[in-house]
Structure 1
Amino acid sequence: MYLAPDGHEVEIAEAAAAFVAQALPIARLHTPGSADLAANARARFGEMGWFALAVPESGGGSGLSAVEHALFFREAGRQCAPVDLLAQCLAANLTGDADIVSGKQGVALLVADGAAWRLIGAADSALALQVTRDEAVLYPLAGVTTTARPALDPANSLGVVSTLPDSVERLAGDHVWQLGQLGTAAMLLGVAEAALDLIVDYAKIRETFGRKIGSWQAVRHPCADLAVRIEAARAQLWYAAAATKEARADAATHLDVAKHLANCAALAATDTTIQLHGGIGVTDEHDAHLLLKHALLLSRLFGAKRALLGRVLHAGLED
């Protein structure tokens, strides 16, 4: 890939788009009890090998790269795919364990929260993955008490864990973190693109004062601004994915920038889309609020605004 997907990369993106839209359509989130990655869906993803795109062939994976990883999660973001889809993929890259790669065992994401941890994922997850810039750690969840909490994002369940058992797998370094950051940035890009598509399609059919609302500057100009934001985020995401694939020394910086631009694009796009839809944009039956809630969660995983900008401020790039 050179700054944009081509060749087999486009084919993988198209295959991912078709599969995710069929297995996890965003419409599912209008039905109660549709949060997380259910066991049957997890098995389907595992059977198709989506969890192991970037896992080496020697570890039972497809032997592809960070580029294909990003392409897949961009399409997952368009459908507000749950966070445990990403956690499962990251765990596969951590261990290569056959039960994780196949989806037989579910993996939730563990995020430190003071003296406790927040658990994002299905209640039947067998494992929990905590990822930092320094290491990735996998914990068993058998016997662990999880206190359920209300979740803003209907795509994900949320729980709180006070104590953890000994880990079953640990990997030093930032390899898993980079894949997590790339995956969340890609999902945010997908969310932003879906939000822009929603309002552009609506602006072509909704009329006020005898004219399509897309003809009014108050709608046309914000849409154009979103298109520019999204293009900037998309270009940086492709560059960061290529830099990660090539193991460039400045890949971590490009990933930080990609995550920041994706955060900004997704939050702006989802908020603006709701505003431009008018009254229906805030109704429960519409998809707009689902995209906004998903963006709010993803923007806080694997790098939020302050931490990202602090790192970028002191970063250096290769010539």
Structure 2
Amino acid sequence: MAVSAADEALRIPTFDDVQMARNRIAGIAHRTPVLTSRTADAATGARLFFKAENFQRGGAFKFRGAYNAIAALREKGSRQGVVAFSSGNHAQAIAYAARLQGVAATIVMPADAPDMKVAATRGYGADVVFYDRYKEDRSAISARLAAERGAVLIPPFDHADVIAGQGTAILELIEEVGELDLIVTPLGGGGLLGGTALAARERSPGATIVGVEPEAGNDGQQSLRQGRIVEIAIPKSIADGALTPSIGAHNFPIIQRAVADIVTVSDAQLVETMRFFGERMKIVVEPTGCLAAAAVLEGVLACAGKRVGIVLSGGNVDLATYGALLQAT
């Protein structure tokens, strides 16, 4: 049975979708560790719990949503290939999830995507098609390829099953550490923040939920404050996984209902947070993966006396770039 992107047009996911996603990914996606740091706790006056999705399959939380979306298609009888567009982490996740489920994958990636992310995507067996992120429309290119190849388009964040899959990360975190006062997640297109909100409202209803964007790309912050989806020019930041012009129509209603605020951090703050994780916690976290942690560790969010859940969304960064960023400051 053919399934088109139009079938997803009006379906806003619910907590039931998150629970179904957990069942689909059980035993496939890693239940990633929750890390703590006495140094970070002392510096912030809070009790911090880092959900380390840099240890997820494919190196980022994106594997959750990608695997769930493809599995849901297969449950509906689809054997079509899939097309996705992504700067890297969703690309790798779709490629990997598709290979595991015997599905062909085509990934549309910006020509300036990190080499390691391109190599990993191809290594999982996907066909990579490049585009100019500042001049070309990745959505239009992907839709054309999907039509030409008889495939299903799975966007990186604006898709009900992708959002539901991402929500499983916070579901696991709350199950492990109990209810939280504050939950902070990175924000690019909003799939992770939307999924986080679905899970948190059911399992830790007293928690304040905050999203964190790069300073150069605060479309989500503008959208939440204006009550409508605001589109901006493609931003430039070292947080390459969050360089989106707008958040998604599927997740914006969820964010409006459940997210208290969206804040921003600078590239310099991201580098300092990368340094903290490398030096003090001995882990590699990519710039985008540091967004939520930077807001807490750099004092953008006041969290003294609170139990705080923080998503480290990924660890896919070229080591030469990683070293250069740390050396430059």
TM-score with structure 1 setting the length: 0.33
Higher relative contact order (CA 8 A, sep 6+): 2
**In terms of Rg, which structure is larger?**
1
TM-score (norm 2): 0.32
